[in-house]
Amino acid sequence: MKKTTRILSALAALLILGACSAEPGVQREFDETRYFQQVTAKMSLEHGYLRLDYTLGVPNQSMTFLLKNQDVSVVSVDEWYMNETDNIRLYYAFCEPGKSGELKDEDWKLAWPDEMPGEDAPRKSHPRRSSLVLQPNNSAVLDVPLTFLEHVEPPRRKARYTVALYAQIALNTLQTKSEVFEIPVFPKTKDVEIE
């Protein structure tokens, strides 16, 4: 009986001392990069079907990307956000047709997530996550809004523009990037080319 009382007293003392903090009010941040496992499988990020009628100043345009498991085993991306567009970044640059390979790093601008100049991106304190599990040769579909086409100012007035794009996965545990590709973009009013 005495031994049980001593053990219970010791446990109660540990609970009381453990509840006390040497640094009151200081909260420790959860380090997600240590929690989620790095994805080492062979993955690819590819654009889906490309439309031929992208237009400046028109809302609700989007593009589809496919994150594909090219490995021979099942892949689990534990860091995956439930809101699919939080998992991807899209970059764009105006260029001449066939000249996207000549673009410099400083020519690229962030297209998604859509952030207006001088505007801070909204921060989510606790984003919701759900593991993405991909069987071999299967893909996850990511629909990315092309909201930058609504407000972007092209370099000069033309009847048709060429916009170079590339996307990359925005996770710490998965480093996958698409190839650079070009799309034709038309002004809202089909003006005659002015050079």
Q: Which CATH number fits domain 31-116+127-186: 2.40.50.100, 2.40.430.10, 2.160.20.60, 2.60.40.2550?
A: 2.60.40.2550
pLDDT at res. 32: 58
Give pLDDT tens digits for 93-103. 999 999 999 99
Helices (H), the chain: 2-19, 32-35, 148-151
pLDDT reading at 121 higher than 70: no
Q: Which three-class secondary structure state does DSSP give residue 101?
A: helix
> Residue 157: CB partners within 8 Å, gap ≥ 6?
187, 191, 193, 194
pLDDT at res. 100: 94
Q: Which residue has the tokens 């801070």?
A: 120
Question: 31 versus 67: which is more confidently predicted?
Answer: 67
Q: Which three-class secondary structure state does DSSP give residue 82?
A: coil
Residue 167: band (very low, low, confident or very high) from pLDDT cuts 50, 70, 90: very high
Question: What are the residue ranges spanned by the domains of the chain?
Answer: 31-116+127-186
pTM of the model: 0.75
Average pLDDT over residues 82-91: 95
**133's torsion region: left (phi>0), alpha (psi -120 to 50) or beta?**
beta
Instruction: Tell me: cis bond preceding 24? Omega within 30 of 0 counts.
Output: no
For residues 132 and 138, what is the distance between their CA atoms, to the nearest angstrom?
Answer: 11
pLDDT at res. 126: 65
For residues 150 and 153, what is the distance between their CA atoms, to the nearest angstrom?
Answer: 9
Name the token pair of 34.
């240590």
pLDDT at res. 127: 75
pLDDT reading at 28 higher than 90: no
pLDDT reading at 88 higher than 70: yes
For residues 130 and 133, what is the distance between their CA atoms, to the nearest angstrom?
Answer: 9
pLDDT at res. 141: 95
3-state helix, strand, coil in the chain (%, to 5): 20, 30, 50
pLDDT reading at 192 higher than 60: no
pLDDT at res. 16: 61
